[in-house]
């Protein structure tokens, strides 16, 4: 069963078309990443799916429900989803534990508070007031609040902005453990390595339209793109583009008696592909 | 998953939110000092400046305590909420709540509990300071205590609803105080909190009569001043029934607009 099904989604503000005909299908247990520059329509799309905004037109089903609907059914639906917004900056006069155990009361099947604190790595900050937390720690609390209701579907809007590399790795491990638990995740991110590490599929979106939906390894013909073979010869870096880099390496191996100096075989990174897709290169 | 297990009730979550709101309130030293100590400071200033006696057994402090309790209703409810809610909206904490299964009514109930509890503490402290330092006398007639009780409950409920409704007006959290505070201060002057109401110009009295604060102060005067003083009111009586009806009407209007205009996020 598909967790998210969107067809012909449109949304305009004044004269600008923020979302201009998006189709999207996300199946159960998938981690799906939306990539795109600022103003591409990522946040608008996600906020429509979260029920924060109303679409101008299009058919939308999230867990079999139209997010624009209100009333009791909407509350039952919200009980099944988790949302991590881009940023929240409360006054912070509550502790980590108080905040999580309060939010746990909103849901019919909340996760154990201590277990959530542990899984977002805030054990040492359990009794600390939120205002004393660092940016990364606050973000982890945001994620904790997003997963406290044991959601079937989790929205993550740029979850690791402002994280140091170590915190990001820890965060990725947390997301992977959620996937193992069967949670479907819709992620927006600026970090291509994050999408590559986490996502089963990615969609690139610019000017309100989806350019391509693919796996991170195959996006933009990445898997079949020519590889660059680099080495040093007579003190100068040489480079050769090839469909068969192994052939090139074999040839070089015959040329050089020992090590091939500074040998590298490079394939385009997700970032290279992405930048060329959105027209930055 | 235990999808069979039902969601918690709106009332239960409202009470839980009330507890959380009070806890947050108590941890914000500025708000505690402003809400709880400021009325006592004002009473000290006015009680020291105006040593006059308005009538037999009615000191200015006695008259002023009635006005301070009434404006406490406006300060803890209307003013506090119309400033804090735009900030919560700007910080994104309202949007986060919007993303949960919690009903908006639970949020409103939580705010009402916060206002009622902080109002009760404020009244106790103010009356204690008034009795100890300024010779304020408490009513002995049980009927007056009954009036006092419904004035506090109805007054803080109306003030809460109007505060939530007015919170839609300020454009930003930072600017909220500049929009809300002048409204409250002008109302206080017009409604006879700082001066004897009948000494004010007629047009001011008429403007004040539209708004709830005038009726709250008049109601509190009926509690704290002797009945002989009623003859000196504009209508020559306390107009208790009329006060009840007008405050109830403001409560209903407040709830209507609070529900209509409440916004979870800025756009």
Strand order in the sheet with A227-233: A236-242, A227-233, A264-266
**Taking the CB of residue A132, how many other CB atoms lie within 10 A of it?**
12
Interstrand relation of A201-206 and A31-35 (parallel, antiparallel or unpaired) = parallel
Nearest Cα to A148, choosing from B256, B249, B99, B4?
B99
DSSP one-letter code for A31:
E
- List A185's β-bridge partners, or say none: A31, A154
- Residues A157-180 have pLDDT tens digits of 988 877 778 878 888 988 998 899
Are the CB atoms for A171 and A198 separated by under 8 Å? Answer: no
| For testing contact with chain A, the best of B5, B6, B7, B23 (most A CBs within 10 A) | B7
The helix/strand/coil state of A92 is coil
Q: Is B215 exposed, middle or buried (0-12, 13-18, 19+ CB in 10 A)?
A: buried
| Cβ pair B118, B36 in contact under 8 A | yes
Residue A97 to residue A125: CA distance in whole angstroms: 9
* Confidence (pLDDT) at A51: 94
A interface with B, Cβ–Cβ below 8 Å? 50-52, 75-76, 78-79, 81, 83, 85, 87-91, 93-94, 98, 102-103, 105-109, 129, 145, 149-150, 152
What pLDDT, on a 0 to 100 scale, did the predictor assign at position B29? Answer: 83
pLDDT at A165 (0 to 100): 84
Mean pLDDT over A201-227 rounds to 87
pLDDT of residue A258: 87
Closest CA to A190 of A161, A214, A170: A161
Residue B5 is predicted with a pLDDT of 64
List beta partners, residue A61: A5
Q: Is the pLDDT of residue A24 over 90?
A: yes
Check pLDDT > 50 for residue A274. Answer: yes
Mean pLDDT of chain A: 90
Contact list in B for residue A52 (CB cut-off 8 A) is 95, 98-99, 264-265
What local confidence, expressed as pLDDT, does residue A280 receive? 62
Minimal Cα–Cα distance from A168 to chain B, Å? 23
* B interface with A, Cβ–Cβ below 8 Å: 1-3, 5-8, 13, 16, 20, 23-24, 27-28, 87-88, 91-93, 95-96, 98-103, 264-265
Helix (H) / strand (E) containing B152: helix B142-166
Nearest CA in chain B to A84: B96
DSSP string for B59-108: EHHHHHHHHHHHHHHIIIIIIHHHHHHHHHHHHTHHHHHHTSS--HHHHH
The pLDDT of residue A121 is above 70 = yes
Residue B4: pLDDT over 60 = no
Residue B3 has pLDDT above 60, yes or no: no
- The pLDDT of A14-42, averaged and rounded, is 91
Confidence band, pLDDT 50/70/90 cuts, at residue A91: low
Chains A–B, number of C-beta pairs less than 8 Å apart: 82
What is the DSSP code (8-state) at residue A124?
A: G
Does pTM top 0.80 for this prediction?
A: yes
Tell me, rounded to whole angstroms, the distance of Cα B160 from its chain centroid: 7
pLDDT band at A268 (very low <50, low <70, confident <90, very high): confident
Angle (CA) A55-A56-A61 rounded to 5° is 40
DSSP 3-state of A191? coil
Chain B residue with the nearest C-alpha to that of A182: B1
Q: What residues of chain B lie within 8 A of the CB of A75, using their CB?
A: 7, 101-103
pLDDT band at residue B48 using 50, 70 and 90 as cut-offs: confident
Helix (H, G, I), strand (E, B) or coil at A28: coil
Average pLDDT over every residue of A96-101: 96
Instruction: List, for residues A133-150, the tens digit of each pLDDT value.
Output: 988 888 889 999 999 999
Contacts of B212 (CB under 8 A, 6+ apart): B74, B155, B158, B159, B162, B246, B247, B250
The alpha carbon of residue B46 is apart from the nearest alpha carbon of chain A, in Å, by 34
Average pLDDT over residues A112-127: 92
Q: What is the average per-residue pLDDT within B194-207?
A: 90
- Helix and strand numbers (H, E) in chain A are 9, 12
Write the secondary structure of B200-236 as one string of H (helix), E (strand) and C (coil).
Answer: CCHHHHHHHCCCHHHHHHHHHHHHHCCHHHHHHCCCC
Q: Looking at the predicted structure, is the pLDDT value of residue B110 above 90?
A: yes
Amino acid B1: pLDDT: 42
- In this structure, of A2-16, A185-199, B30-44, B59-73, the range with the lowest mean pLDDT score is B30-44
Evaluate whether B150 touches B222 at the Cβ level (below 8 Å): no
Taking a C-beta distance cutoff of 8 angstroms, is the pair B71, B188 a contact? Answer: yes
CB-nearest to B101 from A75, A88, A150 is A75
Task: Give CA angle at A93 (A89, A95), nearest 5°.
Answer: 100
Mean pLDDT of B80-88: 93
* Rounded Cα distance, A177 and A121, in Å: 13
The mean pLDDT value for B108-116 works out to: 96
Q: How far apart are CA B65 and CA B217, in angstroms?
A: 9
Residues of B in contact with A101 (CB under 8 A): none
ipTM: 0.89
Give the one of B2, B27, B103 whose C-beta lies nearest to A75's C-beta: B103
Sign of the dihedral through C-alpha B66, B69, B71, B77: negative
Judged on CB neighbours under 10 Å (0-12, 13-18, 19+), B133 is middle
Q: Which residues contact A54 (CB under 8 A, 6 or more apart)?
A: A48, A68
- Residues B121-163 have pLDDT tens digits of 999 999 999 999 888 999 999 999 999 999 999 999 999 999 9
| pLDDT at residue B38 greater than cutoff 90 | no
Residue with tokens 């795109």: A36
């Amino acid at each position: 069963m598909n967790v998210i099904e969107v067809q012909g989604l449109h949304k305009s503000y004044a004269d600008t078309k923020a979302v201009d005909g998006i189709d999207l299908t996300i199946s159960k247990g998938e981690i799906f990443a939306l990539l795109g520059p600022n103003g591409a329509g990522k946040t608008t799309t996600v906020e429509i799916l979260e029920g924060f905004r109303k679409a101008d037109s299009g058919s939308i089903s999230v867990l079999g429900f139209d997010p624009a609907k209100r009333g009791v059914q909407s509350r039952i639906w919200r009980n099944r989803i988790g949302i991590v917004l881009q940023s929240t900056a409360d006054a912070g006069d509550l502790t980590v534990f108080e905040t999580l155990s309060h939010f746990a009361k909103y849901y019919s099947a909340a996760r154990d508070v201590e277990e959530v604190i542990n899984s977002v790595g805030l054990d040492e900050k359990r009794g600390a007031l939120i205002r004393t937390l660092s940016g990364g720690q606050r973000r982890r609390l945001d994620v904790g609040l997003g997963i406290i209701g044991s959601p079937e579907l989790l929205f993550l809007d740029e979850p690791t902005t402002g994280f140091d590399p170590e915190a990001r790795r820890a965060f990725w491990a947390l997301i992977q453990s959620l996937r193992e638990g069967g949670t479907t995740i819709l992620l927006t991110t600026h970090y291509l390595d994050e999408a590559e590490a986490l996502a089963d599929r990615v969609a690139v979106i610019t000017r309100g339209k989806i350019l391509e939906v693919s796996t991170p390894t195959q996006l933009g013909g990445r898997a079949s793109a020519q590889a660059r073979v680099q080495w040093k010869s007579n003190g100068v870096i040489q480079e050769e583009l090839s469909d068969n880099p192994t052939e090139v390496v074999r040839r070089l191996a015959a040329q050089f008696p020992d090590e091939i100096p500074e040998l590298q075989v490079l394939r385009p990174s997700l970032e290279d592909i992405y930048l060329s897709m959105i027209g930055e290169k | 998953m235990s999808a069979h297990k039902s969601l918690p009730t709106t009332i239960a979550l409202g009470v839980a939110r009330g507890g959380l709101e009070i806890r947050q309130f108590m941890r914000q030293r500025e708000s505690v000092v402003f809400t709880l100590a400021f009325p006592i400071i004002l009473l000290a200033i006015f009680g020291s400046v105006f040593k006059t006696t308005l009538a037999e057994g009615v000191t200015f402090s006695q008259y002023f305590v009635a006005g301070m309790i009434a404006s406490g209703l406006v300060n803890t409810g209307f003013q506090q909420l119309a400033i804090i809610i735009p900030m919560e909206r700007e910080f994104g904490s309202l949007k986060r709540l919007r993303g949960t299964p919690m009903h908006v009514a639970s949020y409103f109930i939580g705010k009402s509990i916060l206002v009622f509890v902080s109002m009760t503490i404020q009244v106790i402290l103010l009356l204690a300071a008034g009795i100890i330092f300024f010779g304020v006398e408490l009513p002995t007639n049980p009927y007056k205590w009954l009036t006092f009780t419904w004035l506090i409950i109805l007054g803080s409920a109306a003030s809460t609803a109007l505060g939530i409704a007015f919170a839609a007006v300020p454009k930003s959290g930072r600017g909220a105080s500049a929009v809300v505070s002048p409204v409250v201060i002008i109302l206080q002057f017009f409604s006879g909190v700082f001066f004897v109401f009948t000494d004010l110009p007629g047009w001011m009295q008429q403007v004040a009569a539209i708004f709830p604060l005038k009726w709250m102060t008049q109601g509190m005067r009926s509690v704290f001043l002797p009945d002989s003083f009623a003859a000196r009111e504009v209508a020559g009586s306390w107009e208790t029934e009329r006060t009840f009806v007008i405050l109830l009407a403001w409560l209903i209007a407040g709830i209507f607009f609070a529900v209509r205009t409440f916004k979870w996020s800025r756009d």
